[in-house]
């Protein structure tokens, strides 16, 4: 069965994936397969552990029900992460709950060539008009956005000021790190930098807004 699975891959990918697959040893002894996990996933190959983008979108921003979260890039990554979502919410979708919606800027070839900043700007304004009750927006960048150098920070700052709405840019391209883990850290940092606006009003009764444990 393992050989059948491997034969579906191109030769180069097959050689690489062979290192990750082996039959279970019923004796409980160590497998002869030298399983390698703590390395970057091969681009284009879907893995159970996901990527930095998946970690930011699904784990950290996924439970936030009243924010419009935009997958900035091609539709595929956003669709996959939406399909594998783990969060469900009370409320009415599109009114006070937005986590069950899939929003993407749907990058095309021309966006890769000429950049996607203008489309992102237009998408943010359209979303504000369509869903005026959203409390904030989040921009989660996918791999192509990082590769071509789109300035999501500048776009979010400009539109946020004009619309009077918090807009959080999250640099969580899938090629960052080796798994979802770095996406968790990046997303948590954006909460600290863009949502928690003041650290000066701490009292004896102050409590953590976000706890992260391993």
Of the listed ranges 8-12, 19-23, 179-183, the least confidently predicted one is 19-23
pLDDT above 70 for 114? yes
All structural domains of the chain, each given as residue ranges with its CATH number in brackets, are 1-36 (no CATH), 52-195 (3.40.50.1980)
pLDDT value at residue 128: 95
pLDDT value at residue 174: 87
> Which pTM value belongs to this model?
0.74
**The one catalytic residue among 52, 54, 134, 187:** 54
Higher pLDDT, 147 or 33: 147
**The one catalytic residue among 85, 122, 154, 192:** 85
**The one catalytic residue among 56, 172, 184, 187:** 184
Give residue 133's pLDDT band: very low, low, confident or very high (50, 70, 90). Answer: very high
Give residue 214's pLDDT band: very low, low, confident or very high (50, 70, 90). Answer: very low
Query: Which range, 43-52, 55-64, 143-152, 177-186, is most confident?
Result: 143-152
The residues near 60 (Cβ < 8 Å, ≥ 6 apart) are 183, 184, 187, 188, 191
pLDDT value at residue 211: 57
Q: Is 54 a catalytic residue?
A: yes
Q: Is 85 a catalytic residue?
A: yes
Give residue 50's pLDDT band: very low, low, confident or very high (50, 70, 90). Answer: confident
Query: Which range, 61-65, 114-118, 198-202, is most confident?
Result: 114-118
Euclidean distance between CA atoms 154 and 177, whole angstroms: 24
Return the number of other C-beta atoms located less than 10 Å from residue 104's C-beta.
19
Higher pLDDT, 205 or 64: 64
What are 105-111's contacts with CB under 8 Å, separation 24+?
105/70, 105/71, 105/72, 105/73, 106/74, 106/75, 107/72, 107/73, 107/74, 107/75, 107/142, 107/144, 107/145, 111/144
pLDDT value at residue 59: 85
pLDDT above 60 for 31? no
């Amino acid at each position: 069965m393992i050989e059948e699975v491997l034969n579906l891959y191109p030769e180069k990918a097959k050689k690489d994936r062979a290192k990750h697959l082996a039959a279970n040893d019923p004796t409980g002894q160590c497998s002869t397969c030298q399983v390698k996990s703590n390395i970057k996933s091969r681009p284009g190959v879907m893995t159970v552990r996901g990527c930095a983008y998946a970690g930011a979108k699904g784990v950290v921003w996924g439970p936030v029900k009243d924010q419009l979260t935009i997958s900035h890039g091609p539709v595929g990554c956003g669709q996959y992460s939406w399909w594998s979502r783990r969060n469900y919410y009370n409320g009415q979708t599109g009114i006070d709950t937005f986590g069950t919606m899939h929003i993407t800027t749907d990058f095309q070839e021309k966006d890769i060539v000429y950049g996607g900043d203008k489309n992102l700007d237009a998408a943010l304004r359209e979303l504000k008009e369509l869903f005026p009750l959203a409390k904030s927006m989040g921009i989660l960048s996918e791999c192509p956005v990082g590769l071509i150098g789109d300035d999501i920070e500048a776009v979010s700052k400009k539109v946020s000021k004009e619309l009077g709405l918090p807009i959080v840019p999250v640099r969580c391209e899938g090629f960052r790190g080796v798994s979802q883990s770095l996406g968790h850290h990046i997303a948590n940092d954006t909460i600290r930098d863009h949502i928690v606006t003041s650290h000066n009003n701490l009292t004896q009764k102050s409590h953590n807004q976000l706890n992260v444990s391993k």
